[in-house]
Amino acid sequence: MWRWLHPYAKPEATFALTQKLIPWFAVPGLVLVIVSLVWGLAFAPPDYQQGESYRIIFVHVPSAMWAMGFYVGMAIAGVIALVWQIRTAELAILAIAPVGAMLTFISLFTGAIWGQPMWGTWWVWDARLTAQLILLFLYLGVMALYVAFEDERAGAKAASILAIVGVINIPIIHYSVYWWNTLHQKSTVTRAITRLEAPSIAPEMLWPLLVSILAMLLVCAALVLMRLNNEILRREIHRPWALQHLGIHFATADNKKEKGDADAV
Amino acid sequence: MQFDSWQAFINMGGYGIYVWSSFAGTFLCLGLLALEASWRRSVLAREATKQAARAERILRARAAKKRAAKEEPN
């Protein structure tokens, strides 16, 4: 069942795949970004309580959601790196962490900007906000641990373990608004999609929100792929296929011939 | 369309500074990541070119030295 995955343990195969996939994520992603911007900023109706300020939701929710999603992805890469010792998975951690950290930062930043007019404060030390701040520190910890060792692979192992252990924070973030009293409102999208509770968002707002969530996923996936691509290239820079890809015509053949001639004497 | 004029669109019902700064911040952050990735790529390409050229020079010099050593005793 997983046989098809095996060739991608080879960096060269993954490099070729990411190279091919980047435009397939980047182009639809950018198109959807424009669609969600126009839809969310100009066409979605204003909120009956929050007026136009609620439009921050179209960057706040997607970034917060994928900050958690990418963390889980990074932890899965960590499991693969630890169990099967696949280098490409280690590089994936290095590719995902900065994007995830940036998403977490965006969610905190836009949340603060949204909190100021609506709650009257930029920041409160309540469950949801604090748990999300811990997520940022986990990402930064993974990045720091990765480069903290002389041997890069030892760092990758330590970072994998931290990434896996940190997954505990993800359900805490998600359920924080249910488990504790918090200023933060409850999950809008989960309620709208699962219908376990009455949805709290009108379809005219939900649809552009879903588009912005998809746009954020595609754009950030493209960023992760670009970074993974770079990391593989960095690790494999001496291989002929890498040089060939960069368009460097290393005259290896000539040299070999010349060297061979010289050695033959 | 929810807004009558550009003025109203920029103003965002009085929340313009909040709405626009959060959108601008988001795009700045993601744009920086994209720029960093493409900058890294060009640095990698430059370094690889340099190293390939160096390796080639070394091989050439070695071959030339051997050739010289071969010719000298005669």
ipTM for this model: 0.84
Q: Residue B66: inside a domain, yes or no?
A: yes
- Please report the DSSP string for A61-82 in residue order: HHHHHHHHHHHHHHHHHHHHHH
Q: What is the pLDDT of residues A4-51, one digit of tens each?
A: 888 887 888 899 999 999 999 999 999 999 999 999 888 888 888 888
The pLDDT assigned to A191 comes to: 75
Contact by Cβ (8 Å): A140, A101: yes
Q: Which of A71, A57, A91, A73 is nearest to A187 (CA)?
A: A57
Cα B39 from Cα A17, distance rounded (Å): 21
The pLDDT assigned to A108 comes to: 96
Q: Residue B3: inside a domain, yes or no?
A: no
Residue A47, helix vs strand vs coil: strand
Q: Residue B7: inside a domain, yes or no?
A: no
Residues constituting chain B: 74
Residue A234, helix vs strand vs coil: helix
The pLDDT assigned to B74 comes to: 59
Provide the domain limits for residue B66: 34-74
Q: What are phi and psi of A51, to 5 degrees?
A: 65, -135
A42, A60, A226 member nearest B1 (Cβ) = A42
What are the structural domains of chain A? 8-264 (1.20.120)
Number of domains in chain B: 1
Q: Residue B21: inside a domain, yes or no?
A: no
Q: How many helices (H) and strands (E) does chain A have?
A: 10, 0
Q: Do B12 and A55 touch (CB under 8 A)?
A: yes
Contacts of B38 in chain A (CB under 8 A): 226
The pLDDT assigned to A112 comes to: 94
B19, B34, B38 member nearest A56 (Cβ) = B19
Cα A257 from Cα B60, distance rounded (Å): 11
Q: Residue B46: inside a domain, yes or no?
A: yes
Contacts of A41 in chain B (CB under 8 A): 9, 19, 23
Half-sphere exposure of A215 (CA within 13 A, CB side): 24
Q: Residue B17: inside a domain, yes or no?
A: no
Q: Calculate how close chain A gets to B73, using CA atoms only, in Å.
A: 14
Residue A112, helix vs strand vs coil: helix
Distances (CA, A) of A6 to A10, A87, B45: 8, 13, 28
Residues in chain A with pLDDT values less than 70: 249-265
What residue of A is the nearest CA neighbor of B49? A248
Contacts of A245 in chain B (CB under 8 A): none
Cα A56 from Cα B32, distance rounded (Å): 20
Which helix (H) or strand (E) segment holds residue A218: the answer is helix A203-235
Q: Residue B74: inside a domain, yes or no?
A: yes
Q: Residue B56: inside a domain, yes or no?
A: yes
The pLDDT assigned to A94 comes to: 94
Contact by Cβ (8 Å): A143, A97: yes
